[in-house]
Amino acid sequence: MRKPDLKSMKIDLTKINYKRLVVPVALLVLVGFAYNAPERSQQVKLTSSYPATVCPAIGNKVSSIAALISAKINRRSIDGVSKRLNPGKSGVIPMKNDAILVEGNPGTSLTFANDTWKAVVPCSVSNGEQWFIGSSGALTSKSVLFISNSGFSDSAIDIEIFTPNGVQEPRELVIAQNSTRKIAIDSLVPGEELISIAVKTKSGRVSSYLLDERKRGLKSLGADFVAPVAVARKVVTIPAITGLLDKLITNSNSVSHTLRLLVPGTIDANIDVTVNSNDGNFIPIGLSQLEVKSQRIVSIPLTFAPTGQPFSVIVESDQPIFASVFSNFTYGKSSEIAWATGADELQKWSVNLTGSRPILNFVGDRIDVQISATGTNGKKITKRVTGANFLTWRAPTGLNRLDVTANRSEISGGVIFLPEVGKIGTSYLPMNNGANLETASEPISDARVISRG
């Protein structure tokens, strides 16, 4: 018998083992590639930034300034010519006829306007809709709607106007690129005493502002901005309203308040109205389960409002609603008006008050707020305000930089400006950020995921 060739058998066994190993090894290699390959979520990155905001200029020889929280923030005029944001030398920018675009930043820029009255409003950017729950088209109205297109192409908008009789047909307008259009309110709704306006952007980058100014002949009856509101809510908190305080309490001075309501949807609402002050909170007679017709302006005199102190109003509704409070002041022979609008939930709010001496109001079940400020005397001010329902803090001196931080959720805030020695006018300001942080996704270039056809 022939003996087996052990050498050849060994070679054959090696070949057989190699073939058996090919498949497992290939699977392991593929698993390794799959493990190390970038996942879909790793092929994009998230970036966050603040959008640029617009500060309106009043024009018509009215003194107005834009107040930025830092001189280093870039800005440019919305004048049809300027296209580049440039650094400035000051955080206070005098304005004549042209609005300005302010580079996105965590702070909130403000526009201050002074004549024989005072008006203050946050500079902002539209999220597609801006609602103004205030103003008038009556005989005394000199009110103006400012619509600024800060982009470099024409923008299309719709203007909707609500009255006590319902909503009017929308008006379509085109706003030229890099410009501001001013529209007299009495040309939109001549003779209408109670109105609210919605500006809805169809294309482009638009910011709108409403200055409610009133005159009788040559006599000024006051003016104030109606701060824009983005969305209707079932709970609207109006934190900053005031009666007459301190030396303003005289026989020749007076103030009255009116609540204005609008249900923008098609279903009627039932509401409760609560008034908060340092004396406590209460629901006035007749303002519990009050029915409010949809798409019609409702005006309610607040004859029960506290006198001699600041207060707030909370409107709770079973349907989304807008609300504001109109205050009509008489200071001797002079008149002034102020509009208080709904405030967003407070997180952090940073502004430049340009030396104003404000009264800060806070509303919430559990209020816990940190206040940091720089006075006009250069001294730093820090104060922690805590309590329940309603709290007021009065600045001991004029303030420049002001930072307000909420240490809890569900707190709202507002600012009251009253006449001081050597100063004029009254205005209310909600602690609403002009712009919120926006997040966008960007693709990540990765050669490993490129394939060739």
Element (H, E) at 17: helix 6-36
Task: Give the number of other Cβ atoms within 10 Å of residue 121's Cβ.
Answer: 27
Tell whether 31 and 78 lie within a shared domain. Answer: no
Report how far residue 305's alpha carbon sits from residue 314's, in angstroms, rounded to the nearest whole number: 13
What pLDDT is attached to residue 424? 78
Whether residue 27 is found in the same domain as residue 116: no
Same domain, 165 and 60: yes
Q: Examine the domain organization and report whether 265 and 238 are in the same domain.
A: yes
Residue 446: both structure tokens together: 């990765």
In a domain, 266, yes or no: yes
Is the domain of 244 the same as that of 201?
yes
- Chain segment 176-202, per-residue pLDDT in tens: 999 999 999 999 999 999 999 999 999
Q: Are 240 and 298 found together in one domain?
A: yes
Q: Domain for residue 116, yes or no?
A: yes
94, 193, 220, 224, 338 from 97: Cα distances, Å: 10, 28, 21, 18, 23
Model's pTM, two decimal places? 0.86
Same domain, 156 and 239: yes
Low-confidence ranges of the chain (pLDDT < 70): 1-47, 422, 437-453
Whether residues 160 and 188 share a domain: the answer is yes
Give a yes or no: residue 215 inside a domain.
yes
Q: Do 70 and 167 fall into the same domain?
A: yes
**Is residue 406 included in any domain, yes or no?**
no
Range of the domain at 286: 48-341+427-439
Residues contacting residue 166 through CB under 8 Å, at least 6 positions apart: 295, 296
Letter string b/e over residues 232-268, b meaning 16 or more CB atoms within 10 A of that residue's CB: bbeebbbbbbbbbeeebeeeeeebebbbbbbbbeeee
268 and 333 inside one domain:
yes
Residues 23, 53: one domain? no
Transcribe 273-315 into DSSP letters: EEEEETTEEE--TT-SSEEE-BTS-EEEE-TT--SSSEEEEEE
Return the pLDDT at 328: 97
> What is the spatial distance between Cα 453 and Cα 448, in angstroms, rounded to a whole number?
15
Q: In this structure, which amino acid lies at residue 440?
A: A
Q: Work out how many domains the chain is built from and give that number.
A: 2
Query: Phi-psi bin for 81: left (phi > 0), alpha (psi -120 to 50), beta?
Result: alpha
Residue 381: inside a domain, yes or no?
A: no
